Amino acid sequence: MIEEGSKSCKAMVEKRQLFMEMRAQNFDVIRLSTYRTACKLRFVQKRCNLHLVDVWNMIEAFRDNGLSTLDHNAEINVSRLETILSSIFYQLNKRLPTTHQINVEQSIGLLLNFIVATYDSEGHGKLTVFAMKAMLATMCGGKILDKIRYIFSQISDSNGVMVFAKFDQFLREVLKLPTAVFEGPSFGYNEHSVRTCFPQQKKILLNTFLDVLMADPPPQCLVWLPLMHRLANVENVFHPVECSYCRSESMMGFRYRCQQCHGYQLCQSCFWRGHASGPHSNQHQMKEHSSWKSPAKKLSHAISKSLGCMPIGESPHPVFPEAAERPQDLVHTTNTLESPSRLDEEHRLIARYAARLAAEASNSTQCPPSDLSFNFDANKQQRQLIAELENKNREILQEIQRLRLEHEQASQPTPEKAQQNPTLLAELRLLRHRKDELERRMSALQESRRELMVQLEGLMRLLKQDEEQKQAVQTGGSPHSSPGHSASCTMPMPIRSTSAGSTPTHTPQDCLAGVGDDVLDAFSQGVPRNLRNDLLVAADSITNTMSSLVKELHSVDDGLEEEEENMRNGREKEERKSYRFDMRLSQSKRI
């Protein structure tokens, strides 16, 4: 009893393991339901290693397990489903190199529990063949074009026309996948789903089916399917652009550019979470970019488009013949193909390869030894090439990680950098202080010079009036032109030593208070002196003092400029080093 209880508990934990891991990824913070659904299903695909299996491997597994001859509505039990999954993953491990083998048992257990939880929620222990084919064909890797063509072969009649009832059954089964990852309210099945995909068409052929399901945008109920493929294609795409919200210097995955805010770009994480900054709003239209083009490539693309060198309105898929194609189960494949003209080159190559494999398996004893050795050598060379490429890719990723760590360490401030050359910093501060003092002294001397020039101008005017009075006395002029009368003229200048109560009757000697000795001597002596020469001497002394002060200030400026030039050169070296790192990082990413 205890063992049975522990086994049931273990089985319950295994059933919930995938969903618990998916919840731990916190996909529910993604704002848009389409991206949220695609991310969840992509996680399930990678966690179960279905991204390593394409639709042609699925077709081969269906054929090997006898599903091609069963009716779509036939039921299979869980044991047979487990056998089919085992065949798929064991064959996958045979194709993979020894360094990239997967855990087959774990992959089988996770995928089996997910399929049972999705298609057998009531616990009957059975599911239909069509449900299993639709689920595995949708969730496997490979090209979306191949998937849709296989799906059409399963829902069309012998004339190559889609049967609406079968397409409705396909939607009913495939839309259980979003419901299984808790996105049923957005992408659940309803009876109007078929008509929303094909509202007017009555006769749906292969090309029409491809046009609708691969359109941009696709039908609303299946919009997550092409997005899941685009997610797989951009997981390792690098964009050397800064995100306008999180300020990340590079982006991985999708890049979104606002059509209204110039130069505003968001990484996929910020866009999915609805982040916005500045004038940008979540209501603005955003354009999704899945690759990075340099300005030169953009210019070349624009020129080619303007010159008509690029096709306009080209179909997103190749146009196939309208004749009906038989279901792509590869059951009746032989060395001689039926109606090869009805198949494109890709189908012929795949069929020939499958036929050769079947012939080698059935007639292995009849094959010449040279052919066997050739095939073995070719497969061995291919495996070696794949292993070498994977090792090279691993080395490139390690180099990118190392360069990224070096860049982060170089960009982080350290105490050593902050305290680098303290003597130089102290001298720089001292020179700046000395420069400030000299600037203050120079401005004070300039103010003194201005005041002195005003005083000298007033003194010259007084001297001229005194000489005119003396000439008037000598020639017998009127007594009104006396020195006392001339002294009543005030001087239009600020004199520091003059008090507020000074009157216009002061003599010229009183007006000289605070003026230099040369000027005082010129007015104090009884014999008139040539005051113009004395004033010029005083002006020359002031000019010499100003010149010496300017020279000293220039010397300080030269020292400061030299120190700033040294610091600028250091910063330029750091910037060139960072630029070389970014270039090496972008080159490594492109490789």
State the Cα–Cα distance between residues 110 and 14, nearest whole angstrom: 7
- Whether the CB-CB separation of 280 and 258 falls below 8 Å is answered with yes
Question: What is the CA 480 to chain-centroid distance, rounded?
Answer: 93
pLDDT at 11: 52
Cis peptide before 178 (omega within 30 of 0): no
**CA dist list (Å): 316 to 53, 223, 311:** 24, 16, 12
State the Cα–Cα distance between residues 141 and 147, nearest whole angstrom: 9
pLDDT at 421: 65
pLDDT at 494: 44
Single-letter amino acid, residue 49 = N
State the DSSP code for 266: E
Sequence-separated (6 or more) residues with CB below 8 Å from residue 585: 400, 403, 404, 407
**CA dist list (Å): 229 to 141, 185, 226, 569:** 8, 22, 5, 49
Which residues share a beta bridge with 267? Answer: 255
pTM of the model: 0.53
Written as tens digits, the pLDDT of the chain (591 aa) is 444 445 445 555 666 888 899 999 999 999 999 999 999 999 999 999 999 999 999 999 999 999 988 999 999 999 999 999 999 999 999 999 999 999 999 999 999 999 999 998 888 889 999 999 999 999 999 999 999 999 999 999 989 999 999 999 999 999 999 999 999 888 988 888 888 888 876 789 999 999 999 988 899 999 999 999 999 999 888 898 899 999 888 888 999 999 999 889 999 999 999 888 888 988 899 999 988 775 555 555 555 555 555 455 555 667 766 655 555 544 443 343 344 444 455 565 666 666 666 666 555 544 444 444 445 566 677 777 887 887 888 888 888 888 888 877 776 655 555 455 677 777 778 888 888 888 888 888 888 878 888 888 888 888 888 888 888 877 765 444 444 444 344 444 444 443 334 434 444 444 444 444 554 554 444 444 455 666 666 667 777 777 777 777 777 667 666 766 777 777 677 767 666 767 766 666 665
- Whether the CB-CB separation of 52 and 102 falls below 8 Å is answered with yes
Question: What is the CA 259 to chain-centroid distance, rounded?
Answer: 17
State the Cα–Cα distance between residues 269 and 239, nearest whole angstrom: 14
State the Cα–Cα distance between residues 549 and 555, nearest whole angstrom: 10
pLDDT at 297: 58
Q: Identify the burial level of 266 via C-beta atoms within 10 angstroms of its C-beta, where 0-12 means exposed, 13-18 middle and 19 or more buried.
A: buried
- Whether the CB-CB separation of 3 and 9 falls below 8 Å is answered with no
pLDDT at 475: 74
| Two structure tokens written together for 122 | 């009531």
Which residues share a beta bridge with 328? Answer: none
- Whether the CB-CB separation of 468 and 487 falls below 8 Å is answered with no
| Two structure tokens written together for 505 | 């009757």
